[in-house]
């Protein structure tokens, strides 16, 4: 069969990322097309509201009136989905693949939620699906796990995969500002959405972890199977105490690790040592440490979101895919190791079953007997205390007491905290931050 000289794209979405891809194609067209060996052309673009004022003015004839226009066009080889959301993104992707179109998508939510269905449809219709931009924007971590580390049993993934929360935690640390103040700064700088809920509460990081761990461990991990905690409860005081007293920094980590044939998948604030590889990942940057049984630890670092980094990742997918379309081999060999039932992983561990060290901040009335009562309950639950800190002494008023523990079973810690929180001298629900391995 002859090589295809023009590869046509039907694009769904022309917002921040869509326009970034358009600009990148114009800027680096010579390089991109030389790598593909064919001309790359965006033939139609579907948006919600054609008449909207946009940063980029493009010929109005490029806009499609409905999705069927893209699907029914036999010239269109690739559907590029940069629309986001679950619906109609899921339906658009499934319909496109059923009609023989290859896919590039940046949509982490739809992949995390409908992974099996999307992958099965791609296989069934022998089309390729690429999604590098769905996790950590410009960092090629999907390619690294999927291709570069393919010979390894992956042992663990430790990642800062949400730039917004990383920016907030670092700014709180460096400028001694509280959470709300810093969130407002992040929103003003365009680093946090007007509604930042999905970033702050860890849901965005969980979507990314679902994709990363499904690929890395050849085991389908649903977002609902991931334990999620956000950064809302972390105070400036916790950040300062962790730094001054324990030489640790708070990071929102996405963690996946295998132990005894069980997989832990969790997203939560974590206190890591200041000299840990991920401690130096600052601002809105992302960093992911992947440990393989052969290669050891590898680290990936860069901007995890934003127009240019994300467009860079999407375009790399388009280049790979367009090259195989041009050579008439697209869909012949699946581009991902989509195995979903790894027999070496017996189950996904519940959060109650993990073992960790803990930072516990009790808010109590300063009166005799408080510490001994707390210590007794911890002891009864097989939790050994590593350190106790009580800085301020205000008689009769509430004071923070920080206790760190040695390794303990989370179930025991939760049960102990339930009892302690019910004691008459406890004024606020106790804050727990995991001081996870990394040491
Ligand atoms: N922003 C980032 O830094 C980043 C990073 C990595 C991945 N991503 C992913 O990239 C995707 C796009 O993000 P974005 O920031 O570019 O979003 P965005 O700026 O909100 O753009 C969304 C685009 O989709 C169009 N759209 C929405 N609903 C539609 C529908 N029902 N039918 C047709 N078009 C529809 C919108 O049309 P109108 O223009 O007419 O409103 C808009 O052009 C998301 O999946 C996101 O998770 C984003």
* Cβ–Cβ under 8 Å, residues 242 and 276: no
What are the residues facing 385 on neighbouring strands?
405
* pTM (2 d.p.): 0.96
Q: What is the CATH number of the domain that holds 266?
A: 3.30.360.10
The response to whether residue 314 sits with its C-beta less than 6 Å from ligand 1 reads no
Cα–Cα distance, 191 to 374 (Å, whole number): 41
CA 215 to chain centre: 14
Q: Are residues 292 and 146 in the same domain?
A: yes
395 inside domain: yes
CA 313 to ligand 1: nearest atom: 6
Distance (Å, rounded) from C-alpha 139 to C-alpha 10? 25
Query: What CATH number is attached to the domain comprising 21?
Result: 3.40.50.720
User: Is 114 contained in some domain?
Assistant: yes
User: Which one of 20, 23, 48, 211 would you pick to mutate in the ligand 1 pocket, going by the greatest count of ligand atoms within 8 A of its CB?
Assistant: 48
* Tally of domains within the chain: 3
Three-class secondary structure of residue 130 per DSSP: strand
Is any atom of ligand 1 closer than 6 Å to the C-beta of 306? yes
Among candidate residues 343, 182, 333, 145, the one with its CA nearest the CA of residue 256: 145
Distance CA 11, CA 277 (A): 38
Residue carrying the six token digits 């891809």? 21
**Preceding amide of 88 cis, omega within 30:** yes
Closest C-alpha among 68, 81, 76 to residue 40: 76
CA–chain centroid gap for 21, Å, is 21
Residue 136 CB–ligand 1 contact under 6 Å: no
Task: Tokens for 96, please give them.
Answer: 């496109």
Report how far residue 260's alpha carbon sits from residue 238's, in angstroms, rounded to the nearest whole number: 33
Residues 149, 298, single domain; the answer is yes
Nearest-atom index, ligand 1, CA of 17: 16
Instruction: Identify which of 270, 433, 266, 271 has the alpha carbon closest to the alpha carbon of residue 362.
Output: 433
pLDDT at 439: 40
360-400 pLDDT tens trace: 999 999 889 999 999 999 999 999 999 999 876 666 678 99
Asked if 217 contacts 258 with a C-beta cutoff of 8 angstroms, the reply is: yes
Ligand 1 geometric centre to CA of 14 (Å): 7
pLDDT by residue, tens only, the chain of 439 residues: 678 999 999 999 999 999 999 999 999 999 999 999 999 999 999 999 999 999 998 999 999 999 999 999 999 999 999 999 999 999 999 999 999 999 999 999 999 999 999 999 999 999 999 999 999 999 999 999 999 999 999 999 999 999 999 999 999 999 999 999 999 999 888 888 888 999 999 999 999 999 999 999 999 999 999 999 999 999 999 999 999 999 999 999 999 999 999 999 999 999 999 999 999 999 999 999 999 999 999 999 999 999 999 999 999 999 999 999 999 999 988 777 667 788 889 999 999 999 999 999 999 998 899 999 999 999 999 999 999 998 766 666 789 999 999 999 999 999 999 999 999 999 999 999 999 865 4
Q: Which of 13, 18, 141 to mutate to test the pocket of ligand 1 (most atoms within 8 A of CB)?
A: 13
> What is the distance in A from the centroid of ligand 1 to the CA of 358?
39
Give the residue carrying structure tokens 């003003």: 188
* Residue 335 within a domain: no
Q: Whose CA is nearest to atom 18 of ligand 1?
A: 15
Q: Which of 310, 312, 224, 308 is nearest to 267 (CA)?
A: 224
The residues that bridge with 265 in the sheet, in sequence order, are 256
**Residue 202 sits in the same domain as residue 286:** yes
- Exposed (0-12), middle (13-18) or buried (19+): which is 146, by Cβ within 10 Å? middle
Does the C-beta of 87 come closer than 6 Å to ligand 1? no
Is residue 320 located within the same domain as residue 362?
Answer: no
- Is the same domain home to 193 and 281? yes
Asked whether residue 333 is assigned to any structural domain, the reply reads no
Residue 346 falls inside a structural domain: no
Cβ of 63 less than 6 Å from ligand 1: no
Q: Is 412 in the pocket of ligand 1 (CB under 6 A)?
A: no
Are 195 and 274 found together in one domain? yes
Same domain, residue pair 166 and 210: yes
Cβ of 83 less than 6 Å from ligand 1: yes
Which ligand 1 atom lies nearest to the CA of residue 305? 3
Rounded CA Rg of the chain: 24
Residue 56 CA to ligand 1 center (angstroms) comes to: 15
The DSSP secondary-structure symbol of 188 reads: H
For tokens 């940046």, the residue is 106
Q: Cα(136)–Cα(305) distance, rounded to whole angstroms?
A: 7
Domain encompassing residue 421? 355-435
Residue to substitute in 62, 82, 285 for testing ligand 1 pocket (most ligand atoms within 8 angstroms of CB): 82
Helix (H) or strand (E) holding 387: strand 385-389
CB atoms within 10 A of CB 226: 25
């Amino acid at each position: 069969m002859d090589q295809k000289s023009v590869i046509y794209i039907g694009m769904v979405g022309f917002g921040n990322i869509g326009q970034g891809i358009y600009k990148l194609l114009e800027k680096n067209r010579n390089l991109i097309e030389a790598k593909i060996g064919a001309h790359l052309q965006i033939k139609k673009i579907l948006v919600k509201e054609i008449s909207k004022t946009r940063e980029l003015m493009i010929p109005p004839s490029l806009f499609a009136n409905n999705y069927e226009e893209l699907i029914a066009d036999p010239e269109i080889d690739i559907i590029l989905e940069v629309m986001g959301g679950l619906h109609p993104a899921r339906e658009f992707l499934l319909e496109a693949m059923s009609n023989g179109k290859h896919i590039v998508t940046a949509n982490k939510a739809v992949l995390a939620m409908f992974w099996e269905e999307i992958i099965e449809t791609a296989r069934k219709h022998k089309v390729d699906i690429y999604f590098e931009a769905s996790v950590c924007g410009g960092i090629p971590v999907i390619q690294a796990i999927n291709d570069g580390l393919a010979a390894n049993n992956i042992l663990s993934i430790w990642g800062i995969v949400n730039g917004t929360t990383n920016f907030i935690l670092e700014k709180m640390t460096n400028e001694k500002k509280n959470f709300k103040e810093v969130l407002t700064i992040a929103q003003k700088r365009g680093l946090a959405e007007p509604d930042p809920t999905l970033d702050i509460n860890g849901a965005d990081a969980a979507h990314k972890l679902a994709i990363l761990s499904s690929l890395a461990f050849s085991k389908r991990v649903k977002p609902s199977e991931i334990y999620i905690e956000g950064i809302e409860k972390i105070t400036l005081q916790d950040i300062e105490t962790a730094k001054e007293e324990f030489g640790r920094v708070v990071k929102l980590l996405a963690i996946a690790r295998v132990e005894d044939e069980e997989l832990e998948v969790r997203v939560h604030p974590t206190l890591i040592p200041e000299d840990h590889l991920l401690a130096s990942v600052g601002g809105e940057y992302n960093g992911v440490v992947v440990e393989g049984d052969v290669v050891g630890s590898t680290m990936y670092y860069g901007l995890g979101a934003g127009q240019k980094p994300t467009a860079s990742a999407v375009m790399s997918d388009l280049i790979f895919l367009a090259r195989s379309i041009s050579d008439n081999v697209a869909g012949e060999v699946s581009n991902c190791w989509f195995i979903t039932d790894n027999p070496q992983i017996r189950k996904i561990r519940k959060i109650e079953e993990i073992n960790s060290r803990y930072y516990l901040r009790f808010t109590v009335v300063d009166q005799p007997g408080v510490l001994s009562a707390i210590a007794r309950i911890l002891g009864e639950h097989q939790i050994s205390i590593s350190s106790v800190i009580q800085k301020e002494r205000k008689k009769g008023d509430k004071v923070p007491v920080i206790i760190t523990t040695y390794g303990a079973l989370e179930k025991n810690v939760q049960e102990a905290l339930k009892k302690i929180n019910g004691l008459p001298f406890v004024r606020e629900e106790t804050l727990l931050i995991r001081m996870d391995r990394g040491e």
